[in-house]
Amino acid sequence: MSTAEKILLVEDLWDSISADEATVLVHPGHKIELDRRLEVYESAPENLLSLAELCERLEPSG
C-alpha cells in the first residue's frame, strides 16, 4: 500500500469515527482539563504563541 493510499485509509477511518461522536469515550479528567484550557484561552486569546514564537522557544539555545 502506498503512502498516499495509507493516508486516505486513515482519513476514511477518522471520518467514520468522528461521524459518531457519541461513541467516542472521553475520560472525565481529560474533559475537565480540556474545558479548563478552553476557558483560559477564551479569557485571554492574545496570550497564545504564534508558530514562530513556539519554534523559537523549542529551538535549543546554543
- Centroid of chain to Cα 5: 23
Q: Specify the DSSP class assigned to residue 21.
A: G
Query: What pLDDT, on a 0 to 100 scale, did the predictor assign at position 9?
Result: 96
Please name the amino acid found at residue 4: A
What the block records as the C-alpha cell of 29 is 479528567
Summary mean pLDDT of the chain: 90
pTM of the model: 0.49
H-helix or E-strand spanning residue 9: helix 3-18
Domain ranges of the chain: 3-58
What the block records as the C-alpha cell of 17 is 469515527
Coil vs helix vs strand at 24 = coil
How does pLDDT run across 6-36, given as a tens digit for each residue?
Answer: 999 999 998 888 877 777 788 999 999 999 9
